Every structure is written in C-alpha cells, then in structure tokens.
Amino acid sequence: MWKSVAANGMSFLIVLFIALAGAIAWGQREFRAAGPLAEPVFFEVPRGASLRRVSEDLEELGAVSSSILFRLGAEYSGMAEQLRFGSYEIPAGASMEEVLEIVTAGGPSQFRYTATYVLQLAGTGELRLRERVPGTGEVVELADFAYENGIPEVYAELVDSGTPIAYRVSVPEGLTSWQIVEGLRMADFLSGEIAEIPPEGMLAPDTFEVRRGQDRQEIIDQMIENQEQILADAWANRQDGLPLASPEEVLILASIIEKETSVPDERRMVSSVFVNRLNRGMRLQTDPTVIYGITEGRGVLGRGIRASELRAETPWNTYVIDGLPPTPIANPGRAAIEAAVNPDGSPYIFFVADGTGGHAFAETLEEHNRNVAVWRRIEAEREAQRQ
C-alpha cells in the first residue's frame, strides 16, 4: 500500500512539475510577446511609485495585458527595484519585456506635452504649449498665450485633469531683475514668494527645467549661483590691462554691452569701444543707461529718449557721469560677460546703428558723423514708408 501511495505521490509531483514548467514557459512567452497597444502612448512613472502601482497603471492604460505577469517578470529579471521616475513613450505593440526596459532605463523623459514660459520685457511672460505626437516625433503647437489675456481651454483642461506636462522657464538675456521677478510671479505653475528683488545683473539668463509647483525662490537662487560662477570664471580669464577694477565692474560693462547689441559677433567689438573710451577718460554716452535712469529697470520706456533726458542727472546717465554707472542696467548673459573681459583690439571709439540690425564703427568723429547721417536717412525713409 505504501508503495502505491508513494507512486501516486511521485506521479502528482511529476504532473505538478510539468504544469509549473508549462506555466513558466507560457509566462515567458507572454512576457516577450507583442503587447496590446495599437498606438504609441506616453506614460509617466510617478516619483517614488511602487512596482504594483506602475504595473496596474500600465494595465489600465492598455500597455500590458496583465499587471501580475508584469510584476512577476520584473521580479524574475531582477529589475523590480530599478523603476526610474519620468515620462516615457511606449511604442505600439511593445512587449512587457520592452515596457519594463523603457521604465527602468532612466533615459531622458519624453513628455507628450511641454510648456515653455518665456519672460518678457514688460515683466510678464508668454506660455507656449506644444504636443509631441506619439510615434512620429512631430511637435504640434497647441497654444501661445500671455496670462493677462486669459488661459486657453486646452491648457486649462490638461492642468485640471492632472496630465503630465514638462515645464521650462526661459529667461532671455538683457532683462532686469524686476522684470524677471515679476514674470516669475505670474507663472501659474510655480509656487511660493520671492523674498526680494535680487541685485541688478546677478541673475544668469538661461532656460530652466522646472516641475509644477516648484518654489520661485529656488529658480532665483539657481540663477544667482550660476551668475556668480560665470562671473568668477570670466574674471579669472580676463585680458590684462582692462580699465575694470573688479568683477562687479565687469558685470556693469557686460550689461551695457548686452543692451547695446543683439548681434553675437558684435559683442567684443562693442566692448572694445567702451574699453577704449574708459582708457581715454571719455564718457560712455550710451542710450540704454539713460533709459535705465528713467525706468530704473521697472518695465519699458515705450518711446524715444527726449533731449532733456539725455541731459538729466541720474546715477546711470553716462552722457552726464564719468566712467561706469554704479550698478548694472540689466542681467547680461555669459557671452556679454566674456566680451567685457575679452574685447577686440580695435581702435574704435564710436558706433551707430547701420540699418541691418548691427552697427557701423568709427575711429574718428568725422567718420562717425558720416555714419550717423546714413542712419538718419534710413530712419527717415522707414518713417515715410510707415505713413
């Protein structure tokens, strides 16, 4: 009898082993087989999410056929603890094995929706909402808007539904600290208060990846840290013999260069004009400093400079004061700072707009007056065309 029991038990174990082996083989085939997705989708792995939550979200999305099998495959392959926070594009027909590799690889996030907030001169900003079409890489414009004009429905619906959006803040070169702070205060996706307006010039322009709900002061602090490093590097690598006594004076000159030209190839030439003037004891006589003396960096002037304003005594008016003004007049970018410490070796002491977006440079007053006459003719012709 015991032999019969043992035989039956052995048979049961063999059947069980065969069934288990079959189940494992079936599971492996299912794990590697093409998945149920008919079209590519974007999927976000939340920060700190568990494997169970991710697998269930994937099943609900239709990216995997079984959350249980997905978890078992992750455990079996030793990847259960390797989930990486981010947003990922999952291609159509991806197997569970391929989906697991995507959400554990830790590559750059690929958000379907991106919102880039570009700060403006008036202390406002424009938000540019874009959609990346799954499977094609094509980027579609959904909305461009300023907050003061109202929030479009397409953006409001995405926010209200909790749809993942990649946010960026773009700070152009040449904005004042007031303009940057005011622009950040308007952004609906940021939080917190900015303690105070930072010193002029100490905010490094750049484009920053931010998260929804990020504290505004964090962005300001990062900009200050970046500018301090840029300025320290520039000061350490400056030309010999510059008429600049400190990094602070470099920043002041760089801000003037930033406001005088938007042509990258001109920055070092413009810098040379101002350096030559400083070396000769000549006043800088630059219009952007006059404008800053009027607005003190709060908003834009919105009109031409009056003759009386060219003569007005303000701390920044370089038609009146000698040397550099007491503070920067804007927040210069890296290129303008580097131009301030590495000017071209030119003989020029004058420049004026040339009608192409750049400037005509001159060594003598006679030559400069000819360039000014050309520019005035261009201005007159443009005015006549507008009428």
Tokens of 101: 């590799």
pLDDT value, residue 11: 58
Average pLDDT over residues 16-21: 56
Q: Between 283 and 38, whose confidence is greater?
A: 283
Q: What are phi and psi of 268, to 5 degrees?
A: -70, -30
pLDDT of res. 143: 94
Q: Please report, rounded to a whole number, the percentage of residues in the chain having pLDDT higher than 90.
A: 59
Alpha helices in the chain (DSSP H): 2-32, 51-61, 67-76, 96-105, 153-160, 177-186, 216-236, 247-260, 267-280, 287-295, 307-311, 334-341, 365-386
Half-sphere exposure (CA, 13 Å, Cβ side) for 20? Answer: 6
pLDDT band at 10 (very low <50, low <70, confident <90, very high): low
Provide the pLDDT confidence category of residue 31 given band limits of 50, 70 and 90: confident
pLDDT tier for residue 326 given thresholds of 50, 70 and 90: very high
Res. 27 pLDDT band, cuts 50 70 90: low
75 pLDDT more than 70 = yes
pLDDT in tens, 189-240: 999 999 899 999 999 999 999 999 999 999 999 999 999 999 999 999 999 9
Query: Where are the extended beta strands (E) located within 101-147?
Result: 113-119, 125-132, 139-146
Please, which pLDDT band fits residue 54 given cuts at 50, 70 and 90?
confident
pLDDT digits (tens, 9 = 90+) for 145-178: 999 899 999 999 999 998 889 999 999 999 999 9
Tell which wins on pLDDT, 93 or 14.
Answer: 93
**Cβ neighbours of residue 40 closer than 8 Å, sequence gap 6 or more:** 89, 90, 91, 92, 134, 135
Average pLDDT over residues 98-126: 84
301-323 mean pLDDT: 93
Model-level pTM greater than 0.85? no
Greater confidence (63 vs 11) lies with: 63
Residue 177, φ and ψ in degrees, nearest 5: -65, -40
